[in-house]
Structure formats: C-alpha cells, structure tokens
C-alpha cells in the first residue's frame, strides 16, 4: 500500500460511522450506503480505514464486529484502545466510553498488548422510568 485514495465508497462509509452515536456493523453500514458501492467494497473499505487508524473494531458480546471512529487516536503517534465499551441489551447498540480507562495487573509471565472490556446492561436511553 502506497498512497490511500479518497474514493466515494470510502467517504460514504466513513461518513456513516462518523455521524452515528453508536458502533455499526458491516451489514448495517452496507444497508446505509446501498447504491453507492458493492457489498465487498464495504469490507475492503473497512479494512483500509482500520489500517489507517481512522476507525477501530469493537467486538460485541454476541461476537458481531462493529466499527467506531477513533476519537482519541487521531494523532497517529499514540494509538491505544484501553477504553471501555457499553453494550445495551435492550436497544443492542454498542458505544465507546472513552473517558473510562481500564487498569489490570497480571503476572509477569503474561505480556499484555491490548485490552477489550465490554459491559453489557441497560443504557441511559433505555432505562425504565
């Protein structure tokens, strides 16, 4: 990969991710950009955006992969994903809680690379009165 190009498909997908308050899956994204590009292109665009540190993957508690903007890692020098995710059992939406960091201690025999913490529960919007 030399110079990444700014294509219509890439713009459309990134735009949907940027304007969403929660993380979106490939099927959801394809539905939203339908007509703009092919199904396969969405997969390839997502891979590229992840490589370029524009977005990051979030695996939900059921195994579905969702994508969200990299908010705190626009500056390409520090790219850490030690924040927390919240997955609502009611509306099924998953969101980044960037302000909540995680700290874990393990024995020296483990070499830690990345943390994935997702909390399932009921989000503020879905709270019963």
- CA separation for the pair 14, 12 (Å, rounded): 6
Which of 14, 86, 93, 96: binder of a second copy (CB under 8 A)?
86
Q: Which is it for strands 94-101 and 83-88: parallel, antiparallel or unpaired?
A: antiparallel
8 A C-beta contact, residue 117 and residue 102: yes
Residue 89 interacting with Zn ion (CB under 5 A):
no
Give me the 12-51 binding string for a second copy, x by CB under 8 A, dash otherwise: ----------------------------------------
Helices 26-33 and 8-18: crossing angle, nearest 10°? Answer: 120
CB of 108 to Zn ion, least distance (A): 15
- CA separation for the pair 129, 127 (Å, rounded): 6
48 vs 81, which CB is nearer to Mn ion?
81
CB of 106 to Mn ion, least distance (A): 15
CB of 93 to Zn ion, least distance (A): 6
């Amino acid at each position: 990969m030399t110079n990444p190009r700014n294509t219509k498909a890439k713009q459309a997908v990134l735009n949907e991710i940027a304007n969403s308050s929660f993380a979106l899956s490939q099927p959801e994204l394809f539905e939203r950009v339908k007509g703009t590009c092919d199904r396969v292109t969405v997969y390839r665009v997502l891979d590229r955006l992840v490589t370029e540190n524009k977005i990051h993957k979030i695996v939900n508690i059921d195994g579905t992969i969702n994508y969200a903007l990299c908010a705190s890692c626009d500056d390409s020098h520090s790219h850490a994903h030690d924040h927390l995710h919240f997955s609502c059992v009611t509306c099924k939406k998953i969101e980044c809680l960037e302000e909540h960091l995680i700290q874990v201690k393990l024995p020296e025999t483990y070499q830690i690379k990345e943390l994935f913490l997702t909390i399932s529960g009921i989000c503020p919007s879905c709270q019963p009165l």
